[in-house]
Amino acid sequence: MMSRLTIICLALGGLLSCATPDPNAPRKEVQSTWPNGDHRVVLAFRGDTVHERLEYHETGQLLSRGPLLKGERHGVWNSYYENGMPWSQVNYDRGEEHGSYRTYHDNGEPAIEGIFDEGTRIGTWSFYGEDGNMIKRETR
Cα distances from 111 to residues 36, 69, 101, in angstroms, run 33, 28, 11
CA separation for the pair 52, 5 (Å, rounded): 47
CA separation for the pair 80, 62 (Å, rounded): 7
Name the 3-class secondary structure at 49: strand
Q: What is the mean pLDDT of residues 85-93?
A: 98
Q: Which domains does the chain have, with CATH numbers?
A: 24-139 (3.90.930)
Please tell me the least confidently modeled range out of 13-17, 42-46, 131-135. 13-17
Work out the burial of residue 19: count CB atoms within 10 Å of its CB; fewer than 13 is exposed, 13-18 middle, 19 or more buried: exposed
Quick one: pLDDT band at residue 46, thresholds 50, 70, 90?
Answer: confident
Instruction: Report the pLDDT value the prediction gives residue 104, as an integer from 0 to 100.
Output: 98
pLDDT at 23 over 80: no
Nearest to 102 by CA among 122, 88, 85: 88
Instruction: Report the pLDDT value the prediction gives residue 57, as an integer from 0 to 100.
Output: 97
Nearest to 53 by CA among 45, 61, 63, 65: 65
Number of C-beta neighbours around residue 10 at 10 A = 11
Instruction: Report the pLDDT value the prediction gives residue 3, as an integer from 0 to 100.
Output: 67
pLDDT at 132 over 60: yes
21/89: higher pLDDT:
89
In DSSP terms, 72 is beta-bridged to 69
Q: What is the DSSP letter of 8?
A: H
The pTM is what?
0.78
